[in-house]
Chains A and B, each alone.
Chain A
Amino acid sequence: MAERWTQEMRPFLAKWALVAVPYLWSLLFFLAPFLIIFKISLSQTAIAMPPYVPVIGGFGDLWSKLSDFTFDNYVFLTEDPLYYSAYLSSLRIALVSTILLLIVGYPIAYGMARAPKSLRNALVMAVILPFWTSFLIRVYAWIGILKPEGLITIALQGLGILGPNEQIHVYNTEIAVFIGIVYSYLPFMVLPLYAALEKLDTTLLEAAADLGCPPTKSFWVITFPLSLPGVIAGCFLCFIPIVGEFVIPDLLGGSETLMIGKTLWAEFFNNRDWPVSSAVAVVLLIILVVPIVIFQNQQKKA
């Protein structure tokens, strides 16, 4: 009887060990930090390292310290229009960028899916390759191109479109940020689109043609709807991280480009105000919870 019990238990134990290790890791290093961020956002600033007053010493302190919990930081966020504008601006930029990415990425993905089979893997590699090279470096490359005295100016001057003393003013503007974002996130849009388009059964299009449907119409009536899962995946995969993007607006956007990622960074590294940074992060997280949950559900269905 005991032997039978251990026989049944052993695979049971092995299964739980397999689940436990990544589960505990995630709980500790992913979930717990979020709870801490929330806690810190409720505490007060102090000029020290770490620059915040610990709110809870232990469970004994809990009740006495409860009165110390303050939503001051959150109130602070609402008082200064900077934060409010930064959030809105980030959402706007992310939305516009995602649409741009879709417009630029879809033809590329479509071209890849229609290419002869032997070429397709090479094309996928070619799309992924820039992604494997440094993100930071690629954004940096655009600085040289977009600067007032940069390469685009030189090219346009050479073509006679710009006079010898004229320069383009793209660097340090939102336009540069858009270019940078589209450039960096293109693989994230193209690959899910390509995956969905590649699975498309071309005989469906042949059937449509046979039944009298012209090619452009059959794209909108058949191809696009069937590629929708890829479109949705690509859009969410781009939109959510772009909202919190830091590097691109920092390097390519000017002081007028407001994005919440930059604000958080500045709050943390420049002002050394950890509680406010935490509050900023928590609010950002709350804003993004809905899209993230939608994305997770979408992935589950796929």
Chain B
Amino acid sequence: MMIEAVGPIKRKFAPWDDPTLKPFIRFENVTKRFGDFTAVDNLTLDIYEREFFALLGPSGCGKTTLMRMLAGFEQPTEGRILLDGKDLSGIPPYKRPVNMMFQSYALFPHMTVEGNIAFGLKQEGMDTSNINTRVAEMLELVKLEKFAKRKPHQLSGGQRQRVALARSLAKRPKVLLLDEPLGALDKKLREETQFELMDIQMELGMTFLIVTHDQEEAMTVSDRIAVMNHGVIAQIGTASEIYEQPSSRYVADFVGDINLIDGTVTAVDDDTVTLRCAGVDATIVAEAGPGEVSVGAEAGFAIRPEKVQISLEAPPAGTSNVLSGEVWDIGYLGDISVYRVRLAGGSIVKATVANLTRIVERPITWEDKVYLTWPADAGIILLK
């Protein structure tokens, strides 16, 4: 199989929008039960070729189980999995064109780096000269040429991880599965590796499926993300779709920070919904979110902290969507400051502000009376 060199993608990559394209990986009504515990519940998911797809969710949501079913280590209790049109049921893991990069790396301690990378190729029955060429290619790809003869215990954590990556790519699988691959790395190394992974994926033109609980990671590397919860998919979309247009409270809360102010719907318009929030004694007008909203329904207003503007001065009279309160807590993080504002009813709203000027003493401090405002489309209404 030749490497298709795909250059940096300048046009928008969105095969899922293209009706002429068939999905590369398809989970069809897949259910997995362990005794009476349902790990994956009637899940259907399509992943397209050359996607870098992320399964995101907390521990126990079923993402790892889903991936292991694709790899062949678990069999679905119901439903089937198709890869490039072929049903994978009953095919053992050593016969699938899928390879996995394990969370613990799982490098064979009694073999050298070369031996580890060559292992899968030997199982295929490749002849020695081809194996050597391919191993050299892989070592170059992950920049470990000088470490070929070393054994895993002679490598650092980051180096081991790259060997694991090289080993899983050596066989040019149709799909590469990554099981929380960057968890053990420190922040800086993690960031670097994330970009390296993206480069490699584009260079090789492969389909990657990554499982992670780290939303930053998912958002950085992936083309699309599936947010999972208790065995079902809560939402699928690009990082920005999920962040700016969450389809439920769960997704809004899980990905990034969110402020949720509960209330009752008093009016529904063409493009706006009016919410009366008794708890904070305010009326909020906002964009309608997903789902049918009717007058009298219980709903919440959701807005991201960075979209909330905070000021010591009262806004001009007649401005809609204003909340006032007292600064309860401040977190100075260097690039941003996080203000937690306590409203009249006792609830807390978070506002983050980028620190655009190089001053040491910021104007807003504890116990200041402040006003929170936001543009009309900065938040959405989410049903309970």
Contact = CB atoms under 8 A, between A and B. Distances in A.
Interaction A to B: yes
A7 B96 CA distance: 13
A8 interface: yes
Contacts of B92: 7, 11
A4 B95 CA distance: 12
Q: Is the interface of A mostly helix, strand, loop or mixed?
A: helix
Interface in A210-247: none
> Size range of the interface on B?
under 10
Interface string B71-112: 000000000000000000011100100000000000000000
A4 B80 CA distance: 15
Contacts of A4: 90
A4 B90 CA distance: 7
Interface string A62-97: 000000000000000000000000000000000000
A8 B92 CA distance: 8
A108 to B, nearest CB: 34
Contacts of A11: 92
Interface residues of A, number: 4
Interface string A1-21: 000100110010000000000
Contacts of A8: 90
Interface in A1-47: 4, 7-8, 11
A7 B88 CA distance: 12
A252 to B, nearest CB: 48
A141 to B, nearest CB: 43
Interface string B278-296: 0000000000000000000
A210 to B, nearest CB: 32
A109 B117 CA distance: 45
Interface in B271-316: none
Contacts of B90: 4, 7-8
B90 to A, nearest CB: 5
A217 B92 CA distance: 57
Nearest to B89: A4
Nearest to A8: B90
Contacts of A7: 90-92, 95
Nearest to A10: B92
Nearest to A11: B92
A10 to B, nearest CB: 9
A11 B93 CA distance: 12
A97 to B, nearest CB: 44
B346 to A, nearest CB: 38
Contacts of B95: 7
A8 B95 CA distance: 12
A7 B92 CA distance: 8
A190 to B, nearest CB: 31
B91 to A, nearest CB: 7
B97 to A, nearest CB: 16
Contacts of B91: 7
A132 B194 CA distance: 55
A11 B73 CA distance: 13
B16 to A, nearest CB: 32
Nearest to B95: A7
Nearest to B91: A7
A11 B92 CA distance: 9
B109 to A, nearest CB: 21
Interface in B218-242: none
A7 B95 CA distance: 10
B173 to A, nearest CB: 20
A8 B90 CA distance: 6
A246 B27 CA distance: 66
A15 to B, nearest CB: 13
A4 B92 CA distance: 10
A4 B91 CA distance: 8
7 contacts: A4-B90, A7-B90, A7-B91, A7-B92, A7-B95, A8-B90, A11-B92
Nearest first, the 7 A-B pairs at minimum CB distance are A4-B90, A8-B90, A7-B90, A11-B92, A7-B92, A7-B91, A7-B95
Interface of B: 90-92, 95
